[in-house]
Structure 1
Amino acid sequence: MNIGKEKYDAIPIPAELDAVITASMRRAERAGRLRSLRRFAASAAAVVCVLFACANIMPIYTYAAQIPILGSIVQVLQIGSGGELTDSAQGKVEDRGEGVLLSFEGASGELSAAPHYSVTRFSAPNRLELTLSGVRKIDFDALFKSLLGTEAVRDAYRMMVLDDSSYGIVIVLNEGWSCEITEYSDPGALMLNFIESAPSGEDEVYYLRSEAMTYTDELGLLCEEYHAEAATQLRTLSGEYIVTIGQYATRAEAEEALAALNEMHGESGFFVASGAPGDTPEN
């Protein structure tokens, strides 16, 4: 007789054991299905991530490919000067939508720094004067086409400069626009960005001006004569040019400046004129 078997058979079995076993089996089955579902969900999420990344890589790459590759920013300004002394540099023009890029080359290729330049702002009319030194050649047709193709620029032209290694460029802006110049190095370049801004709100601005003249050496000589007074050139609506000096808030200040100018230089031929930021003299 197997006494151990008899004792095993004599162990009482609870009536609810079958129900407990059945419930446990069902839980195990559900857990298995849940693990499979989680694995599927994780795989699906991974696929979605890959597809999302792939969908965005090309637009980002395409956008990045359109960004101009420039060097290091040296400074950003609206008035002032910068660059380095160069000789016989050549300027190249690139249209950048609402901006224009000037890059520079020498005999051995790209310059590491922009040539020396200065930027001066005037209010009547709203304009800036950009001068470049140590530059022998620029494609002015391309430059003026790019400038006049922007919404900001109303007129653009060369100043009469008698130094063959310097250029002066006048950019007349529409009211409510300004120009910000970014200087780059390695390679040297100047980026002219036109920015829409609130109108200046200025009323009449007074200045000293010459009689109108044609675009000849006389214009450049008169500007050189009054170089210490920061004389500049302005093209009139009739197509002639005048030399202007100063900006004054009142006529009295302008009259005082004119008296001082005549005392220093003798009878100069200048007289007081005025205009608003959107006004260009008729002649």
Structure 2
Amino acid sequence: MGEHNGSRATAVSRVPAAGEDVWELHRSLPHTLPADEILAVNKPKPDLHTHRTYTYNGWSFDLPPGVFMPGETSRMVHDRLLDGTIPVAGRSYAAMGAGLGVEAVVAGVREAREVYAMDVDPDSVRAAAEHYARIVGERPGTAFHPLVSDLFDGFPEGAQADVITFNPPAVRETVSDDPAVVRNVCVGIDIAVRFFDQIVRRDLLSADGEVYLIVSNTAEIRDIVRYAIESGFTPEVIHRQTWDTDNVQTCLFRLRRRVAA
């Protein structure tokens, strides 16, 4: 996920791209940081393989060993689901890389029509399902689907999502030999390429659907956005985050499929 766990964050105002050429937006993106800076800000925490707890919006989440603790980067998505900036009420929502299930819980509370909580890690999907059952429970009008899935491999054939969120583990440098860390942090650009390829090939996004993608300059941010544009998506930066303690810049993109002329 390339989580940033800095304690002091500086929010930068919304940067819309309406009417802006997509390549102008692309040129405005930061270059990927040098390897030493990427490694310095992605040091794995020593408690990953222990039981931990996490609190968000007054809700308590239990993290089994190997399930990642959300950081400031993930909370960029959580907060915008909660305040409605990422609108899910009455819509089909897919949380890619669901982790311990915060996004799924928020979407259930916000009355999404369907919630797909997808993760390649079975322990994460199990934790997400347990948290959803305890905090949201059975809610008329909302169907909850926990799926162990490598990206969209487990997503139902013929189904479409109105909203997809993803904080991909696209950090460019390998920051650990621990497979759990690699899976959650530093798979690299390939996971973003496969993500867009599957959406396009299987037509997984509804006509008015939106993808919300978090990428920082610890990943190959310019190449990822270039690939999205060349795959037929129009990106918009809806939030930029900088940090007081380093040179990381994180962007939350909203991407829509371009309509063929």
TM-score range normalised by the length of the shorter chain: under 0.3
* Larger relative contact order (Cα-Cα within 8 Å, sequence gap ≥ 6): 2
TM-score for both structures, normalised by structure 2:
0.26
Q: Which of the two has higher C-alpha Rg?
A: 1
* TM-score normalised by structure 1 residue count: 0.25
- Whose strand proportion is higher, 1 or 2? 1
